[in-house]
Amino acid sequence: MFEYKILRLVKEMKYTIKKDPHQDERVQEIIEISGQNIFLCYQCGRCSSGCPMAEFMDVLPSQVFMFLQEGDVDTLLNAKTPWICAACFTCTVRCPVGLDLAAVMEAIRELQLRKNYDYIDPYKVEERNILPPIALVSNFRKFTP
């Protein structure tokens, strides 16, 4: 199923760069928030191959960079991937050009959160009596403004 997903993505992938990503405001904002030069990525795929959450993602971590380099921020804002990344830093420590991918994922989330967007509703959380406080605190920090 996973292989099928990648094939589908490759098939649907857009290779035309619509707009100069260097001029794109939102790409610049992502670069600024994350502090990472996203143009360094050369698609080696080490991040995607080691990612423990990749099987649940619709866009692979390496593809996130491809979309960013193409200036296609809309696809990323509609993707589930930034909200599935668990910030475990496996990709960050393995990236051969030293990109902090977790920070880029956070920047994509922040782009939406800073517009007062709630990814989850804290009032609807179940199992509140058994969840450890660190789970709730970290979840709300990542998923609410």
DSSP letter, residue 89:
-
Tell me how far apart the alpha carbons of residues 30 and 38 are, in angstroms, rounded to a whole number.
Answer: 9
Interacting residues with another protein between 28 and 87 (CB under 8 A): 32-35, 52-53, 55-56, 84, 86-87
Which one among 6, 40, 97, 125 touches another protein, defined by CB under 8 A?
125
What's the min distance (Å) between Cβ of 141 and another protein?
A: 5
What's the min distance (Å) between Cβ of 139 and another protein?
A: 4
Name, in order, each residue with C-beta under 8 angstroms of 116's C-beta and a sequence gap of 6 or more. Answer: 145
Residue 107 binds another protein, judged by CB under 8 A: yes
Which one among 76, 92, 99, 108 touches another protein, defined by CB under 8 A?
92
What's the min distance (Å) between Cβ of 24 and another protein?
A: 18
Nearest to 48 by CA among 39, 37, 59: 59
First to last CA, the chain: 34
Tell me how far apart the alpha carbons of residues 41 and 43 are, in angstroms, rounded to a whole number.
Answer: 6
Tell me how far apart the alpha carbons of residues 140 and 145 are, in angstroms, rounded to a whole number.
Answer: 8
What are the residues binding another protein (CB under 8 A)?
A: 32-35, 52-53, 55-56, 84, 86-90, 92-93, 100, 102-103, 106-107, 110, 120, 125, 130-139, 141-143
